Amino acid sequence: MIKLIVGLGNDGETYEHTRHNVGRFVVSTFPTQEEIVVSQNSGFMNVCGSSVRRLVEKYGVAPEQVCVVHDDIAFDVGDYRLQFNRNANGHHGVESIISSFGTKGFWRMRVGIGSVPQGVDQSEFVLSKLTDIDEAHITKMCDAMWKSIQTVT
């Protein structure tokens, strides 16, 4: 059972509504429940492992009870996959968590932000603001993401 959900992103107004902060955005829509803690990493995404580890220790949960929600360029905007025990696939925030945990045995909600357009730097793309249409589409999918997480027993 998932007991801790962590939305990944970067601190600060500069990063609000960017593709890279989709994890934070998604978890902000999740309802509060006594048996599941919903939180966000502190600091910056690419070095978030220690921040997520502190949350694990604070709430006394095991890595396999954690679901990390993050952006993913492998999927169209709003598409998502809930997966367990997977490689980072080049996502630096997930790499940091795997390194900090010493295992990849945790849940990941990979939220699509679209693929990087040809000729655009990947860093520039993920740090760009979501369009209103993209944000609305992701918002529409948040309830389904929440329900998906609740199916893990």
> Quick one: 52 exposed, middle or buried, by C-beta within 10 A (0-12, 13-18, 19+)?
buried
Rounded to an integer, what distance in angstroms lies between the CA atom of residue 86 and that of residue 108? 8
Q: Is the dihedral of CA 35, 111, 85, 42 positive or negative?
A: negative
Closest CA to 66 of 31, 25, 98, 34: 98
Q: How far is residue 48 CA from its own chain's centroid?
A: 11
CA distances from 112 to 36, 42, 69 (A): 24, 22, 11
From the list 20, 70, 91, 137, the catalytic residue is 20
Q: 92 an active-site residue?
A: no
Q: Which residues are catalytic?
A: 20
